[in-house]
Amino acid sequence: MKKFLILTLLTLALFITGCGEDSADNNTLKVMLGSNVVSLDSAQATDLVSFELIADCIDGLTQLDAKGNAIPAIAESYDISEDGKTYTFHLRDANWANGDEVTAEDFVFAWRRHCLESTKYAYIMGAGVANIKNADAVTKKEADPSTLGVSAPNAKTLVVELTAPVSYFPALMTFPAFYPINEKFYNTLAAGTYGTSPETFLSNGAFMLTEYLPGSANIQLKKNDSYWKAENIMLQQLHYQVVSSSDNALTAFKNKTLDLVGIGGNQIASVKGDAELSKNLKIIPTGLLQYLSFNQDPKNHHAGALANVNLRLAISNAIDRESLVNNFVDNGSRATYTAVPLNFAPNAETGKYFAENQQQFSEFVSFDVEKANRFFDAAKAELGQDTFDLEFIYANDGGDTVIKVVQAIKEQIEKNLPGVTLNLQPMPKAEYLDRMTTNSYDIAITNWAPDYDDPMTFLTLWTTEGSEIAEHWSNADYDKIIADCTTGALAANYNARWNAMYDAEKILLENAVIAPLYTNASAYLIDDKAKGVEFHSVAIERVFKNVK
Amino acid sequence: MEKIYTPQKEDFEFIEGRNINVDTNFASQGYWRGVFVHFTKNKFAMTGVFLVAVIMIFAIFAPMFSSYAYDEIISVTDTSGKEIVAKALEPQFAGGAENLFADKTFIFGTDDVGRDLWTRTWQGARVSLIIAFVAIFIDMLIGTSYGLISGFFGGAVDNILQRFIEIAGSIPTLVIISILAIFMDKGIGLVIAALLITEWIGMSKIARAECLKLKEREYVLASRTLGAGSFHIIFTQILPNTIGPIITQVMFSIPVAIFTEAFLSFVGVGIVLPQCSIGSLIEAGFGNITILPYQILPPITVLAILMLGFNLIGDGFREALAPKLENM
Amino acid sequence: MTKYIAKRILMALLTLFIITFVLFVLIRIMPGNPFPVERMSAEMIAQKRLELGLDKPILEQFADYLKLLASGSFGNGTSLYNGAPIKPILIKCLENSFKIGVLSILFGTVVGMLIGIVAAMHKGKFLDGLCTVISILGVCIPSYVFMIFLQYFFSYKIPFFPYFFDSSRFLFSSIMPALSLSLLAISIIARFTRNEMVEVMNSDYVKLAEAKGLYGWELIRKHILRNALIPIVTVIAPLVVDLLTGAMVIEKIYGINGVGKLMVDAIAGQGVDYNYVLALGIVFSAMYICAMLVLDILYGIIDPRISLTAKDG
């Protein structure tokens, strides 16, 4: 027993020697992350957190300014061919952190690698998004990677060949899939280790990794002195801390442990009651659409009741979206009645967001119990049944908000459409994704954030090919409009394309392929010293380069 | 002279099939009657019974007599036709609060979704008690028998049984329950099944350890000399003497079961919303612990009272079953 | 004894092999793919399974995996940290969880036994009641709720400890998680110690010892504690494994890179990461088996009456 006591005392002594004071640095910004970084390898990253960190460390051809417009980054300038199908980027003199020059070859290498290795974002190079020549064939391993429509005639020139014009191409280049990777450096690494530690990750951007381990809760970055615009970077250190609970985040902010944290509805209410703290509160609208996905496969295990359009319309019109956002989400999110969410894809001429007019499709998406019941009666007559037992699945990693929202939706639908029962089925993310792809669900709550600043980032989700992964809906007219707008005749005609996309959205909503719920907003508490953090609704959520 | 009678061999006969347990010389009141008398005399034990009974009565009747259903989202429509939900309200009584719900009573307040926490706490207590009782009771039966058999026979039997425990205990609970979820619907049944598969191991360890200690004792030897069979010794001689540590283990298994269930809900394989349990209420309250502490207090308090009650009952049982302790 | 231990170690290796196989098969039955399938078409999924060799017969896959293990590697991750070797990450996480686990065991055992002894010596009196209440509260309050309290009071109200885990001040920032983790251990150990001691104190040999004039610490150490130790050691052994294998929620709250979090991420993440679940399963089992082995040997040392090698009971 005595030995135990001595041991304990010794350990205590060790603690005390171990304690020192934290060096508070004014040039250090400590930022909260809501979830773990999936991967720093741009071919493996699938989430906004990973994209943000990659963008901290690596500059692509272009970058977004504070207003969300594409401005030059590694590409000093670019030329577009007459037919809009060939882009020639002229690279500036920039270096990797190890002293190597950033060359056009680094881009060619990274893009080819992306086609071969990426899973979720393989499509972004191909037809429908970037339209890069041969991208789909390379992805399917039907063509040699060298045939990909990107080449480097010399170290400072990058030529990209497209199959059809892409109006948003320069802005698309801000997406991490299009960032360069230093080939020489990459080849020195053991297989699979790229981006798993500070030693295996090379920056050419504003910051570089100093402490990182996959899955770690604490990530540290410091200013990269060899960045091409290093003199403009004021921030010396950028620290990230993964915090899983909003409650904990709020205390960490009050404690000045973190300078920028994200909080949820309850915390916002508490912050609003505090005169000091409420000055630091900032609500940032995002482009993330939360929606219900209806499985329309008639072979679905519930005999495909949801293949009936009237049943889907009934459900969509029985949801009180205003009540959802005001009572349950409660963080500044906005109810959405269109398939393309708010806050993103401004028209090049008018500057108005694509989804500005939320009443446009109110005939099909609204909150109207009477109308919902008309659809419901029609559905009951067509299907010859009065009660519907539907399985409503959700992933348990979506945080408190999703859990609140699914319960509210269950209550609303069961109240407004007597006879419908929604069975809530929570499940781990892996099982949830598996259920969606293997077609074994009725209704799922899911979300999508825009990858590029164009409505197509949403509309392509529901083509015959796209909805094979979830909704199993197919409509020839819809597919034709999408094909015309992406690779066909309308691709080069901005206004005609813009209007055609509304037509497509109408087909989508009159068939109630999905039920849009709300466009998400993020609530942040930002310390006064963190001025100049830029927020975007597309791909890269937060940019810290210009913090003063 | 009268002849003194010398007993003859014929005067004696073997008693066939007599129960060696029955000692007619000291037979007085029944064993369990004695236990009952000891138990009811114990003030602490009776306090425990009272506490548990109170919680049970509330768990059974409070949801029945509440003006709200446990899964009912309480809301009003304001003048502009907007739906306002009674979410995250502090405890209030009708007429005492200045909000849209002034006419309503929420003894424990409301949760994030606008449901009455009073009703939910008791509903949760009901669900948790069912889960804990069923799972722990069966676990106790399986675990104790397994441990006693393993410890008593020793040697090869022990070796095989212990290796099996190592294999069974090494499969992570989450793996087991994910696989179970393929065959069963998610909900209380699945949680109980998962607890059955994982929780008996601890119980069997305790039983085995006790058995190892007791099987070398003199009274076991005496019993054996009298010709008692192995199972007779295990279940009538050793088992009653292991009851103390097993009861202590059962007491600790109850909150472990409740929290395991909460953890399973957290990962997405536990009970299904809007159903609730003490564990899931603690889990939910935890998300607002610094700004809305009243949400986590009721479930934790109910759990603490239950635990205190069970522990007092457990101690009472130990003492009543082994009366040698009582004169201490 | 040596022969017995050698036999047990051999047996442990065999058990570990069986566990590996059982886990290997079970993990493949689990719902979900070993990689994130978000927006992947059926062909892409099939292609990916082919790449990972998941189309081969299961025994062949198992043989491949054994070869990997024999070469001293746990293979590469499949979804968690896509394609990176598992070993370095596993070692780092084990290190973190281990250090905190050891601290909490140390603390839990010492404090738990002290409380138990004090309670037993004052059975039926106020101190006994107090100790009972402490041990009951310890089981009722989940360790993560206690963690939040500690964090709130000792990092926020009185900013003494770091608010999040800081690996550069390892020991200092381990105090709060270790304390909150040890809460359950304290309760269980205190309770068992008290009950066992009360039982032993009633036995005739203790009364005899008392009659001979032994008292105080001497009596407790030589006669009571030694006899009460068996069930106590039995509860400590699995607790040790529990504490060493990490606590997911505490690791999450305090931002510790530990194995508890790693395991949950591997099972409940975007894809079920077969290789991580396997690697962690094997490591955990090995620890568990070791603990049980030590336990059995300890039984013999603490109480010489117990012989595990005996053929018949």
Q: Is A123 on the interface with C (CB under 8 A)?
A: yes
Of A395, A400, A410, the CB nearest to B287: A400
Q: Chains near C, with 3+ CB pairs < 8 A? A: A, B
Q: Residue C153 is encoded by which pair of tokens?
A: 């009071």
Q: Residue A538 is encoded by which pair of tokens?
A: 């597309």
Burial of A101 (0-12, 13-18, 19+ CB in 10 A): middle
Nearest to B115 by CA among B238, B298, B244: B298
Q: Greater confidence, C245 or B87?
A: B87
Distance separating alpha carbons of residues A348 and C121, to the nearest angstrom: 83
Mean pLDDT over A476-482 rounds to: 93
Which run of H or E residues covers position B170? helix B155-170
pLDDT at C219 over 70: yes
Distance separating alpha carbons of residues A128 and A134, to the nearest angstrom: 13
Burial of A548 (0-12, 13-18, 19+ CB in 10 A): exposed
Question: How much of chain A is in helix, strand and coil states, percent to nearest 5?
Answer: 35, 20, 45
pLDDT at C231 over 80: no
pLDDT value at residue A448: 92
pLDDT value at residue B328: 36
Q: What is the mean pLDDT of chain B?
A: 82
Q: Identify whether A428 is preceded by a cis peptide bond (ω within 30 of 0).
A: no
Interface test with B, best of C8, C9, C25, C136 (most B CBs within 10 A): C136
Of A14, A39, A257, the CB nearest to C164: A257
Q: Chains near B, with 3+ CB pairs < 8 A? A: A, C
The residues with which A393 forms a beta bridge, in sequence order, are: A425, A444
Q: What is the ipTM of this complex?
A: 0.84
Distance separating alpha carbons of residues B288 and A255, to the nearest angstrom: 17
Contacts of B112 in chain A (CB under 8 A): 265-266, 400, 404
Question: Please, what is the angle between helix B173-183 and helix C2-29, to 10°?
Answer: 40
Contact C83, A192 (CB under 8 A): yes
Burial of A95 (0-12, 13-18, 19+ CB in 10 A): middle
Distance separating alpha carbons of residues A278 and B191, to the nearest angstrom: 43
Distance separating alpha carbons of residues B191 and B181, to the nearest angstrom: 10
Which run of H or E residues covers position A277? helix A275-278
pLDDT digits (tens, 9 = 90+) for B290-314: 888 899 899 988 988 888 888 788 8
> How far apart are the CA of C164 and the nearest CA of chain B, in angstroms?
17
> 3-class SS at A516?
strand
Contact A426 B82 (CB under 8 A): no
Question: Please, what is the angle between helix B43-65 and helix B117-153, to 10°?
Answer: 130
Burial of B118 (0-12, 13-18, 19+ CB in 10 A): buried
Contact C273, C82 (CB under 8 A): no
Nearest to A23 by CA among C169, C172, C171: C169
Q: Print burial letters for A61-82: b (CB count within 10 Å at least 16), e (below 16).
A: bbbbeeebebebbbbeebeeee
Contact C238 B205 (CB under 8 A): yes
Q: What is the mean pLDDT of chain C?
A: 84
Contact C286, C16 (CB under 8 A): yes
Q: Print burial letters for A218-253: b (CB count within 10 Å at least 16), e (below 16).
A: bbbbbbbeebbeeeebebeebbbbbbbbbbbbbbbb
> How far apart are the CA of B63 and the nearest CA of chain C, in angstroms?
23
Distance separating alpha carbons of residues B141 and B137, to the nearest angstrom: 6
Distance separating alpha carbons of residues C174 and A390, to the nearest angstrom: 48
Contact B174 C264 (CB under 8 A): yes
CA-CA-CA-CA torsion for B43, B47, B53, B56, nearest 10 degrees?
-150
pLDDT value at residue A379: 93
> 3-class SS at A83?
coil
CA-CA-CA-CA torsion for A528, A531, A535, A539, nearest 10 degrees?
-120
Measured from the Cβ of residue A514, the count of other Cβ atoms closer than 10 Å reads: 26
pLDDT digits (tens, 9 = 90+) for C234-265: 778 778 877 877 688 888 888 888 898 888 88
Q: Is C294 on the interface with B (CB under 8 A)?
A: no
Rg over CA atoms, chain B: 27
pLDDT value at residue A10: 56
Distance separating alpha carbons of residues C133 and A245, to the nearest angstrom: 30
Mean pLDDT over A477-498 rounds to: 90
Contact C313 B174 (CB under 8 A): no
pLDDT at C279 over 80: yes
Distance separating alpha carbons of residues B115 and C145, to the nearest angstrom: 23
Q: Is B274 on the interface with C (CB under 8 A)?
A: no
At residue B41, φ and ψ (nearest 5 deg) are -80, -20
Contacts of C83 in chain A (CB under 8 A): 44, 191-192
Contact C306 B170 (CB under 8 A): no
pLDDT at B225 over 80: yes
Q: Residue C66 is encoded by which pair of tokens?
A: 């054994």
Distance separating alpha carbons of residues C140 and C113, to the nearest angstrom: 19
The residues with which A282 forms a beta bridge, in sequence order, are: A524
Q: Chains near A, with 3+ CB pairs < 8 A? A: B, C
pLDDT at C313 over 50: no
Q: Is A3 on the interface with C (CB under 8 A)?
A: no
pLDDT digits (tens, 9 = 90+) for A113-164: 999 988 888 889 988 889 999 999 998 888 999 999 999 999 999 999 999 9
Mean pLDDT over C161-189 rounds to: 87
Q: Residue A149 is encoded by which pair of tokens?
A: 């429509």
Q: Greater confidence, C305 or A54?
A: A54
Contacts of A213 in chain C (CB under 8 A): 89, 92, 257
For residue C149, the chain A residue with the least C-alpha distance is A248
> How far apart are the CA of B102 and the nearest CA of chain C, in angstroms?
32
Q: How far is CA C195 from the centre of its chain?
A: 24
Distances from the Cα of C102 to the Cαs of B306, C5, C176, C178, C181, in angstroms? 31, 25, 13, 8, 11
pLDDT value at residue A1: 47
The residues with which C54 forms a beta bridge, in sequence order, are: none
Contact C52, C37 (CB under 8 A): no
Contact C19 B167 (CB under 8 A): yes
pLDDT at A331 over 80: yes
- Window 401-440 of A: residues touching C by CB (8 A cutoff) are 427-431, 433-435, 437
At residue A375, φ and ψ (nearest 5 deg) are -60, -40
The residues with which A524 forms a beta bridge, in sequence order, are: A262, A282
pLDDT at C31 over 60: yes
Contact A327 B273 (CB under 8 A): no
Q: Residue B303 is encoded by which pair of tokens?
A: 């759990």
Rg over CA atoms, chain C: 24
Q: Is A210 on the interface with C (CB under 8 A)?
A: no
Of A314-318, A447-451, C50-54, the one with minimum mean pLDDT is C50-54
Nearest to A292 by CA among A265, A312, A264: A312
pLDDT at B162 over 50: yes
Mean pLDDT over B108-137 rounds to: 90
Enumerate residues 6+ apart whose C-beta is below 8 A from A311. A305, A375, A376, A379, A383, A388
Distances from the Cα of A483 to the Cαs of A243, A492, A500, in angstroms? 42, 13, 11
Contact C268 B174 (CB under 8 A): yes
Query: Long-range contacts of range B16-21, CB-CB < 8 Å, 24 or more positions apart?
Result: B20/B223, B20/B226, B20/B227, B20/B228, B21/B236
Tally of residues, chain A? 548
Nearest to C164 by CA among A216, A243, B289, A215: A243
pLDDT value at residue B231: 83
**Angle at the Cα of B290 from the Cα atoms of B289 and B292, rounded to 5 degrees:** 65
Contact A428 C39 (CB under 8 A): no
Interface test with C, best of A1, A114, A242, A293 (most C CBs within 10 A): A1
Contact A192 C170 (CB under 8 A): no
Of A8, A36, A193, the CB nearest to C84: A193
pLDDT classification of A312: cutoffs 50, 70, 90: very high
> How far apart are the CA of B195 and the nearest CA of chain A, in angstroms?
18
Contact B303 C140 (CB under 8 A): yes
Contact A428 B274 (CB under 8 A): no
pLDDT at C130 over 50: yes
Nearest to C131 by CA among C149, C112, C104: C112
Under 8 Å CB pairs connecting chains A and B tally to: 86
- Window 133-152 of C: residues touching B by CB (8 A cutoff) are 133, 136-137, 139-142, 144-145, 148, 152
> How far apart are the CA of A396 and the nearest CA of chain B, in angstroms?
5
